[in-house]
């Protein structure tokens, strides 16, 4: 018995739930930083923070690239599985800046750690699942 292909609506709902959970994880990381973790002494030379900050911006650009690379476009029809994979890869890249912020806070205590969380939130907003991307995909 071959499995039936997933409906675009079910796939969209699945990706939307994944998006919501991963978006909420950024808030959880921020909560951990503000309440649970104690910052170490501030490092006067936060080289790690600057390196991870530039890597965070690259992660946002990579998330946009993978979302569009695997997504359905007007000229090319993609399968529903490719569109779903593109969004999941993009969301993983969008969460990376928040994890970098957690690392920067735990290792150097850089006072502008919140920038990483902001970058991650912006990346999640930019990668919000669009229903039409799933409807244009072929099953």
Q: What is the pTM of this model?
A: 0.86
pLDDT digit string (tens) for the chain, length 139 residues: 444 557 888 999 999 999 999 999 999 999 999 898 887 777 667 888 999 999 999 999 999 998 888 875 666 667 888 889 899 999 999 999 999 999 998 888 888 999 999 999 999 999 999 888 888 777 6
Is residue 38 domain-resident? Answer: no
Under 8 Å between Cβ of 52 and 108: no
**How many domains, in total, are found in the chain?**
1
Any bridge partners for residue 79, and if so which? Answer: 138
For residue 70, the enclosing domain spans: 59-139
- Nearest by Cα to 54 from 115, 3, 138, 111: 115
Q: What is the pLDDT of residue 137?
A: 73
What are the tokens at 48? 């790690």
Under 8 Å between Cβ of 108 and 17: no
Is residue 136 domain-resident? Answer: yes
Is residue 90 domain-resident? Answer: yes
- Nearest by Cα to 91 from 137, 25, 139, 9: 25
């Amino acid at each position: 018995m071959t499995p039936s292909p997933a409906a675009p609506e079910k796939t969209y709902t699945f990706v939307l739930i994944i998006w919501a959970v991963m978006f909420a994880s950024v808030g959880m990381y921020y909560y951990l930083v503000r309440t649970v973790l104690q910052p170490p002494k501030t490092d006067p030379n936060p080289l790690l923070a600057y390196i991870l900050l530039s890597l965070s911006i690259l992660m946002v650009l990579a998330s946009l690239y993978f979302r569009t690379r695997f997504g359905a476009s007007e000229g090319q029809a993609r399968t529903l599985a490719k569109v779903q994979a593109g969004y999941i890869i993009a969301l993983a890249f969008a969460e990376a800046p928040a994890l970098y912020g957690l690392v920067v806070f735990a290792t150097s205590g850089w006072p502008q750690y919140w920038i990483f969380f902001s970058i991650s939130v912006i990346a999640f907003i930019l990668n919000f699942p669009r229903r039409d991307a799933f409807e244009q995909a072929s099953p």
